[in-house]
């Protein structure tokens, strides 16, 4: 009988997100280098590729480690209700 797979911990999530950041930056920079060779625009595409790879990797890192920080995140942390919300307003006669 096989045991269930181990649950992901914060350390493995951070490691995976960090590797995604590094790999996306490297791949986009490499793609920019390839475009620079084809178009003769050194180093424009390399810099833009590295920027976009870093930006995408950073957004992924935040979505994995702290999704509540993104304004467009689907997974929002519910805010606790304040004490004022529990009090009913007085009814009008």
Q: For residue 27, is pLDDT > 70? A: yes
pLDDT in tens, 56-74: 999 999 999 998 888 875 6
User: 63 lies in which domain range?
Assistant: 16-69
Confirm whether 75 is domain-assigned: no
Confirm whether 65 is domain-assigned: yes
Domain count along the chain: 1
Q: For residue 40, is pLDDT > 80? A: yes
Confirm whether 1 is domain-assigned: no
How would DSSP label each residue in 10-53?
HHHHHHHHHHHHHHHHHHHHHHHHHHHHHHT-TTHHHHHHHHHH
Confirm whether 37 is domain-assigned: yes
Confirm whether 86 is domain-assigned: no
Confirm whether 82 is domain-assigned: no
Confirm whether 2 is domain-assigned: no
Confirm whether 9 is domain-assigned: no
């Amino acid at each position: 009988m096989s045991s269930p797979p181990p649950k992901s911990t914060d350390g493995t999530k951070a490691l995976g997100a960090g590797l995604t950041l590094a790999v996306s930056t490297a791949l986009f920079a490499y793609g920019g280098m390839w475009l620079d060779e084809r178009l003769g625009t050194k180093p424009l595409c390399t810099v833009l590729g590295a920027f976009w790879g870093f930006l995408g990797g950073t957004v992924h890192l935040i979505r994995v480690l702290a999704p509540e920080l993104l304004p467009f995140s689907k997974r929002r942390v519910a805010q606790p209700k304040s004490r004022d919300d529990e009090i009913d307003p007085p009814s009008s006669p």
